[in-house]
Amino acid sequence: MNPAIEQMLERYVCQTRDDYVRALREILQQIALLGLWRGKFFEHAAFYGGTALRVLYGLDRYSEDLDFSLLKPSTAFSLGAYGDALRRELASFGFEVSFESRKRNSQSAIESAFLKANTLQQLIIVKAAATVMRPQHAGEVLKIKLEVDTDPPGGFETESRAVLLPVPFAVRAYSLPDLFAGKMHALLCRRWKTRTRSCRSKGRRKACCEEVKIFIVLSFYFIMRVKKLRCYACGKQYLPHGRSSPGFSCSAGIVR
């Protein structure tokens, strides 16, 4: 096993199959970020979403997807251009994956792709306990979804954030206030009825519940830090309740 992967595994307490699969998924996600960095992806896009909060700020949450936003709108962008860079990077650490780009719906601004790997093969690579692998289906596939918003909202801010493993590198990411805005939007605007029916697995149910936890934790963080919030529509800035402001609302009702 690659020494860097061994070091990354030490951060996890793996006792069950689910523990190993979660650790494996998160390690592959981090190597994928490294591959995107080598491919100059972050010259054009920024990392955001729940996985960004976990990787960059240590938030303990279940996360399946890697979410990104272009720095400026582009209809010509394609994730397929980064498929080879992702495969090469993961292969350099001993992981064999395939890359599948999805054709974008004409009505959608989201470009998506999947990294797929045989779960059993990857568990062997990370030397998972034999008792964990025995009930493993030989054909089971571990999937990591990548999504890029090709028509992002204006006014967001980005910053460079360091990631130390598997090797030190930097990613461009939304600033913490904008990550907060994104999670507020997900909590308030997501179609929860549909989401609930699709959250039958233990992992997805946990992910749905954690959306609420993230909102609470980040709300508390910003209230304590007295972060200014800015309305998407009018640009007016606000302070949290209890300070010199009317709160998190304005006439347009869209605050970040």
Name, in order, each residue with C-beta under 8 angstroms of 193's C-beta and a sequence gap of 6 or more: none
Mean of pLDDT values over 203-225: 55
Largest Cα span, the chain = 61
The pLDDT tens digits of the residues spanning 22-48 come to 999 999 999 999 999 999 999 999 999
Domain ranges of the chain: 3-174, 226-256
Residue that wins the pLDDT comparison between 139 and 76:
76
3-174 belongs to CATH 3.40.640.10: no
Q: What is the pLDDT of residue 215?
A: 61
Average pLDDT, the chain: 80
Q: What is the pLDDT of residue 207?
A: 53
Confidence label for 256 from pLDDT (cuts 50, 70 and 90): very low
The pLDDT tens digits of the residues spanning 164-190 come to 999 999 999 999 888 887 777 776 666
DSSP 30-83: HHHHHHHHHTTGGGTEEEESHHHHHHHH-------EEEEEESS--SS--GGGGH
The pLDDT tens digits of the residues spanning 111-158 come to 999 999 999 999 999 988 887 777 667 788 999 999 999 999 888 899
* pTM tops 0.85, yes or no: no
The dihedral built from the CA positions of residue 120, 125, 130 and 132, taken in this order, carries a sign that is: negative
DSSP 128-147: --HHHHTT--TT-EEEEEEE
The pLDDT tens digits of the residues spanning 217-232 come to 666 555 444 444 454 4
